[in-house]
Amino acid sequence: MSSRKRLIEGDGPTDLKLSKTGGEKKHIAALVLARGGSKGIPLKNIKMLAGVPLIGWVIRAAVDSDMFDSVWVSTDHDEIERVALAWGAQVHRRSPQVSRDASSSLETIQEFLRLNPEVDILCHIQATSPCLHPFHIKEALELITLHGFDSVFSVVRRHHFRWQEVKKGSGELTKALNLDTANRPRRQDWDGELCENGSFYFSTKELISKQGLMQGGKVSYYEMLPEYSVDIDVDIDWPVAEQRILRYGYFGRVTPEVVRLMFCKVLGCLTDGKIYLSAAGEEMMSISIQDIGAIRMLQKDDVEVMLLTTAEDPVGDTLADRLAKRTGCQVMRVGAKPADELESVLRTRKLVWKDVAYLGNDVPDVDCLNLAGLSAVPADAPVVAVNACKYTCHRAGGNNVVREFAEHILLQKAKAKSQMRQDRIN
C-alpha cells in the first residue's frame, strides 16, 4: 500500500528513535484522548464499530506499528479505562480541570506531558479515525526522526470548490474562494487542496509545553489517501464508517479466522440456564427466537452449528429431537471433557480447531475455548471461562447471546474476504 504524493518515500532504517545527548534514545509516546462526556454520541469512544470498540481500532494500529515506547489513553471514565487496558494501552486519568466541555485537547495533552516528563515526542491520535494503519504512523514519524521536523500532521487531498458564505438578509453576493469560474478546471487537471483529516498530530515536547502549539516550528504534513480518511462525528457516520473499515481497515497482524463449524452449549448459552418445572412435573427451557434466527444466518453462510448438551441439562431425547427440528442443528450430548469428544467430530469433517467457533459458559468448556479459532462466553460466565475465551459477549446466556456471537463470526468472515480482496488489489 502506498499513498499518493507523500513527502518522503522509502523504508529507511528500522530504528527510527532519535537520540538524546549522551546517546540515550528519546521516548516516543502515542496518546488517544477519550473523554466520557461526548455530547454527539454518548460514550462514542467505546461504541462498537464493526465488532471493535472505536478506540480499539487506533490503539491496535499504534501498538502494532512498533514505533512507540508507550501507548496511552487519556480519559475520565471508568468504562473507557477498562476498554483501553483490554486493548493494550496504558491509561492517564485526566483531572477534572481538563475534563470539562470547554477543555481543549492541548490542555489535556500538556497535563499528560507534565505527569509523564520522560516523553520527548508525542503523537496525538484521534479516536475517531478508525482506518489508521501502522504504516501511516511509521512513515509520518520518519519525517521527525529522520528529517528533523518539529511537528507533522495528517492531511487528505480534497477536490472541493469553496464559496464564501453569505449571511441571510445581508444583501451580499457570494464569490468563489478557490475557483476561477471563467476557467473551471476538470478534476484531473486540478491537484485539489490539502485539508487536515484529524487522524494524528506528531509534535515535540518542547513545541507543546513551551510554545503551546501542536503544529509549529519546522512543520510538515503527511498525506493519506481518501479511503483511509474516516472521521466519525455523528450517528449518521456510523454505517458509512463500518463499510469503509471492512474494506480499508487494519485488522491486526493475524488474518481473521474463517469459521466453518460452531459448537454451542445449550444450557447457559442458548438458554438462560434455568430449569422450568410444569405442574405436570415436566422440565422445560426457554429459547429466544432471535437466537434461532442467528443459527439460520450462520447456516445460510455455510457455517454448520452443533448444539451441545450435558447430563445435567433438562434435555431428554424427546426435547432434543424437537430442538433439532426447530433449529436444524445436530444435538450432541457431551461429558465432563467435551474437547476430547469433539475431536472425533473434527476428524470426521476434516477440520481443525482454528476452523471452529465455540460458545461455552463454564469450567468444562475452558479447553474448547482455548483451542477454538473463535470462542466466546456470555457476560454472566465465571471468570475462569472469561479468561479462556477470545470474545466476551455483552449479553447474558439466553438473552440473544447466540445472536451476538453469530454476528461476530460473520463479521470475521467479512473481514477475511475484504482482506483477501485488498491483498489482490495491492
322 is catalytic: no
144: three-class secondary structure by DSSP: helix
Pinpoint the alpha helices (H) of 146-268. 205-211, 237-248
Question: Of the residues 82, 158, 184, 322, which is catalytic?
Answer: 184
CA pair distance 110, 170, nearest whole angstrom? 42
Nearest in space to 44 (alpha carbons), one of 126, 146, 125 = 126
Q: Any bridge partners for residue 305, and if so which?
A: 262
**Spatial contact of 196 and 154, defined as CB atoms under 8 Å apart:** yes
Q: Are strands 261-265 and 151-158 parallel, antiparallel or unpaired?
A: unpaired
Neighbours of 274 (CB within 10 A): 13
Nearest in space to 304 (alpha carbons), one of 295, 313, 291 = 295
Kindly state the cell numbers that stand for 107.
Answer: 490542555
**Spatial contact of 290 and 400, defined as CB atoms under 8 Å apart:** yes
Neighbours of 80 (CB within 10 A): 23
**Spatial contact of 378 and 396, defined as CB atoms under 8 Å apart:** yes
Q: Are strands 283-284 and 276-277 parallel, antiparallel or unpaired?
A: antiparallel
Q: Are strands 52-53 and 48-49 parallel, antiparallel or unpaired?
A: antiparallel
Kindly state the cell numbers that stand for 410.
Answer: 460473520
CA pair distance 146, 9, nearest whole angstrom? 12
**Helix 54-65 / helix 78-86 crossing angle, nearest 10 deg:** 40
CA pair distance 44, 39, nearest whole angstrom? 9
CA pair distance 392, 399, nearest whole angstrom? 14
User: Which residues are designated catalytic?
Assistant: 184
